[in-house]
Structure 1
């Protein structure tokens, strides 16, 4: 009989394990569908796990554990419409709000909701099915969604408006935003930054997945946005650059006292993290579609290894 007491996990170990489980769930569904957004999970899993499990103060989910079917656009006669923000809990003054910007990362967010107990794993099997809210490109009615977002950069502007309203109402809860670096090619993003700085909106924190990738390849060759940190500082923002796969480094900037400036955390990430096989496809990592049966088999072997590793970790 083993009488040794097990050592309780430290928070960063729990978050790191959740991040790897997020990748595992995404890879599982990429294999199930034969294609999908995989590199986004590789780069952002630690960031999202840290936001949900360590940084954000969210209330318990008030949404169904199994996402309901799409009930049509909201209207005076459509009382069945639901907004995806319910998965982040009630929108009361003391709780934080979370705005998810890159809607093509939707599967990563759904996997994160499952790993953090906000959505049932069975709900993932609705992914990309007709009539489902668990869409491949997330919308405001998708689990975890709240606003219309995507590559046009509207989410930061909307988050800024929410944050400003919360300051004026005296809410204690903050507003957190998750973005991708490619969005900084959009002028609206910089208008939003300028507005946040001008109005000294410091109850907002923006975490950016700086993976250097976009739909057509490398950001630096399509439309370079660097030096991103210097540009944001020139606008007057408070900026930290961290290792996007180090959960303790990710969490630290969120602990600092607000100083009248919006907070930007630029998380330097690897779009092939934990799945180095993806490096063979560089710089075309935006969407994975298997080219041959042998390539699919290689990714299946990677998935099998990750599953075995996850079982060992769980023991």
Structure 2
């Protein structure tokens, strides 16, 4: 599928165009490989598109459109190593930093980077190949990633450290974190928020894809995290709950937060639909985490849907 940059100058329309293109690209990839994190594209496309197009202040990409091969792990003895953060622009005091936490969403992030012109469309040909940085589960060298998140919820701790360091250096730029709601089943997420409150960390914003799903099914049946907003407020955060497919609602809390000095993290809980734009997925509920087609008939149904979505975008 060729790259299709947003054609509108209206920010809300741009986000809608990019989100729809991300879903098409992830669906195409899932069909080509009989597997993919498809529901994550359904739920998170508008959240990530809004972050890149309306929330974060990033410089132009400094990375090649064709991803570099893996150069080894970072360390004093490996000057050739790199991270994928340069796809998000240069590190400058006034610019923002982006930390991507649920690294199994990597295919969605790569697709988003393609749609906003920071990564070349041919990059997905390297997906999950030996020696490639376009990893199935993103790592610090993968496009758009700055840290290896490891187990879920580790990245919020790393983001807190980065935000504290930036404050100590007097840097005005923000640190933005994208998380999934399943990460709040992990104790480390709550320890991190306790630390953020203790150190009065401002200029850190967290967007949560609250699609109510995890790998074993619905969050409510596996282990509920609700009331998530009340719990986060109890841990000292400023919390907003919004429709995660409404770009205006997603962008508003960040715009307001930039107008004042702050001493606590901003959290936007984006309530999302894990089948948004691909209603065929609803037949698989509650097991939506990863799609492998069960039959030739199901494969054909999703193939027809892809052609329909392509036609709608023409």
TM exceeds 0.5?
yes
Counterpart pick for 1:263 among 262, 266, 271: 266
**TM-score normalised according to structure 2 size:** 0.95
Partner of 2:254: 254
What is the root-mean-square deviation in Å for CA atoms of aligned residues?
Answer: 1.2
Query: 1:73-132 deviations in whole A, cap 9, x for unaligned?
Result: 223443322211111111110110000000000000001111111111111111111111
Looking at structure 2, the residues matched to 166 and 28 of structure 1 have their Cα atoms a distance apart, in angstroms, of 40
Task: After the TM superposition, list the runs of 4 or more consecutive aligned residues in structure 1 that deviate by more than 6 angstroms.
Answer: none
Partner-residue secondary structure (3-state), 2:73: coil
Structure 1 unaligned blocks of 5 or more: 1-6
Looking at structure 2, the residues matched to 66 and 207 of structure 1 have their Cα atoms a distance apart, in angstroms, of 28
Superposed counterparts of 1:1-315, under 5 Å: 9-256=9-256, 257-311=260-314
Contact 1:104 1:150 in 2 (8 A): no
- Structure 1 residue 15: Cα displacement: 1.2
Partner of 1:4: none
Looking at structure 1, the residues matched to 145 and 105 of structure 2 have their Cα atoms a distance apart, in angstroms, of 11
Partner of 1:3: none
Query: 1:119-174 deviations in whole A, cap 9, x for unaligned?
Result: 11111111111111001110011001111115431000000000011111110110
Contact 2:102 2:152 in 1 (8 A): no
Looking at structure 1, the residues matched to 71 and 8 of structure 2 have their Cα atoms a distance apart, in angstroms, of 44
Contact 2:203 2:262 in 1 (8 A): no
Query: 1:150-200 deviations in whole A, cap 9, x for unaligned?
Result: 543100000000001111111011000000000001111101101111121
Partner-residue secondary structure (3-state), 2:239: strand
Contact 1:201 1:262 in 2 (8 A): yes
Looking at structure 1, the residues matched to 69 and 244 of structure 2 have their Cα atoms a distance apart, in angstroms, of 34
Looking at structure 1, the residues matched to 307 and 284 of structure 2 have their Cα atoms a distance apart, in angstroms, of 21
Q: 1:259 to 1:307 in 2, by over 3 A?
A: same
Looking at structure 2, the residues matched to 191 and 60 of structure 1 have their Cα atoms a distance apart, in angstroms, of 34
Moved more, 144-153 or 155-164: 144-153
Structure 2 unaligned blocks of 5 or more: 1-6
Partner of 2:3: none
**TM-score normalised according to structure 1 size:** 0.94
Looking at structure 2, the residues matched to 151 and 305 of structure 1 have their Cα atoms a distance apart, in angstroms, of 37
